[in-house]
A = this chain, B = another copy of it.
């Protein structure tokens, strides 16, 4: 493997000194880029794009040709594991992801297999290998997975949900059954992330998109506990090189102290959470990733620059901050505004690292 030319992102996650604050962006490979839309059209469907390593590699690299991002992130979907378990993932226009065979009984949970990533998720692992090779060491590659709780919500609800009625009914009435599912998912997620690491991912992130729909106690019992289990099973050193880990719970700003004890190197922050206060709360335990309101990218570039400066100032001096949005970029954002953000982070963060 080639040496990493830009390791600013890795160093920031490990709270080692850097010259500036690194930045990447959730959904940086996505619909706001015309070149992404072209490949997406060529692929025919979103699933075709995800399952074709060459195309997944191409769209992963696209944003790096436009912007000075300090990391690439594997282009994939968070629901590949349930699909590999046999639930039949598909996408509907406007309604998002759906499963042909959602979980409807204890027997469904009992018979769920734990996928072998090199078999049923081979297309992802192959994409990681291909992207890592094509990056030629320019920037690190981030692997990722949905969190056990978040995967379980889609598997039980059958798709996106407003109130999470089905999974919460199970959580309140049959908690042992839900724990069985979450344990299987934690094992599956750990195998999956370890396969991505073995294939070349240089950092990994767990996306807990729906943990914020829980009470604090239920979050600890049904989401964070399994994020910890995943973490405990990860092999985060390859040939003496550390693979940093990031945990992101959207809506988790109330629980940062607990999250900081889950063993991850960094926490992702949504935009509702004040990053300055977050830093005080977590102390030196973890790095922080975030957290510009994604809607800020609708603003004029000079306003975007001011909002970037504000977040850099809130985090303050020293390493341990990876700039990002607080959630994914929206499809109708002007790419010029992304450039304004990226360049502002690089330009105005230097004084905080001197």
The interface of chain A, by Cβ under 8 A from chain B, is: 163-165, 168-169, 172-173, 212-219, 251, 253-254, 271-274, 277, 293-296, 298-300, 303, 307, 310, 326, 330, 332
Contacts and interface: CB of A to CB of B under 8 A. Distances in A.
Contacts of A299: 169, 172-173
27 contacts: A163-B294, A163-B295, A164-B295, A165-B295, A165-B332, A168-B293, A168-B298, A169-B295, A169-B298, A169-B299, A172-B295, A172-B296, A172-B303, A173-B298, A173-B299, A212-B272, A213-B272, A214-B293, A215-B272, A215-B274, A216-B272, A216-B274, A216-B277, A217-B274, A253-B253, A254-B254, A254-B274
Contacts of A164: 295
* Interface residue SS majority, chain A: helix
Question: Can you list the 5 inter-chain pairs with the closest CB atoms, starting with the nearest?
Answer: A172-B299, A168-B295, A216-B274, A169-B298, A215-B271
Count of identical protomers in the assembly: 2
Contacts of A212: 272
Nearest to A175: B303
A216 B269 CA distance: 13
Contacts of A272: 212-216, 219, 251, 254
A32 to B, nearest CB: 13
A172 B298 contact: yes
Contacts of A217: 274, 310
A165 B254 contact: no
A37 to B, nearest CB: 19
B296 A273 contact: no
Nearest to A256: B254
Contacts of A216: 272-274, 277
